[in-house]
Structure 1
Amino acid sequence: MNIVLLEPEIPANTGNIGRTCVATGTRLHLIEPMGFRLTEKEIKRAGLDYWKDLDVTVYDNYQDFLDKNPGAKIYMATTKAQKTYTHVEYEPDCYIMFGKESAGIPEELLLANKENTIRIPMVGDIRSLNLGNSVAIVLYEALRQNNFEGMKLEGKLHHHSWDEA
């Protein structure tokens, strides 16, 4: 799986998303301009000690991203979409794009990709969910559809056995 952040603005969100990507074996793609530098302490604090393990690529702009990922199947998450994120079938190598916190993905890009726009349902007129939460919701649905391939599906207790219960 691939998560794409188009012009992210808040370092703590990107750090949190980076940690989610490490935990799920997902690649992170960051498209400039960003509202921060990757060396900022806030991004490392949110990503904790996982940031060094992140598979991340930075692109100069959206066209650079397209040029370096030809033929990529891109789903665009937006509050403006006509269908929900559960109404598509995610391919194991697809890209799920999220826009910047203050404005989302530009409408021109949404119109050019209208068949692949998705939304998370919400009540009322709330503008949007937190970016990190949105990424986690959609990413885990995509991973679920692909049977959590390559992921650890069972946990274990440190001091007891599940058979004791």
Structure 2
Amino acid sequence: MKRPSPTAQERTFAENEIIVSKTDVKDRITYVNDVFCKVGLYDEADVLGQLHSVVRHPDMPRAIFHLLWQRIQAGQEIFAYVKNLAKNGDYYWVLAHVTPSHDLQGRLEGYHSNRRVPARQALVDIEPLYRRLCDIEERHPDRKQGMHAALEAIESDLKARHLDYDRYVLGLAAIGR
């Protein structure tokens, strides 16, 4: 699927709606709910079998996805603010809760994500942080070095605030609720 050029138009969804998707262990989409399709302007056929990164907005720092993958591949859940890309290039913000999924024998079979409307006030903190992390990543000619420099920056910021990543994100999630 061809990725659209991002627009400056934001899409929203209701606070009582939850965007749901599931992937296999290689991050290929195996399930999406109607809210996923409605908000992202996708038909189910557009995304099933595609890598979940099909909805990754270019404004998202690679460092945040690195943290996410580190956590879920270690069998842990994670909450993260994510800016997603709709099929037409519009964007939408979510507070994502991503967890590993296991079969009846306890083997990892994929990942499950529920996404809710983020508190608008939380985005006041997140948007400039993500811009700064993207700037750090872009300053390095090597993508991996850039990502690691951005990871160091966020870890340093959180340490200065006496927070770990989870307490930071969940603290922001409580804002405006």
TM-score tier (shorter): under 0.3
* Max Rg structure: 1
Bigger strand share: 2
TM value normalised by structure 1: 0.27
TM value normalised by structure 2: 0.26
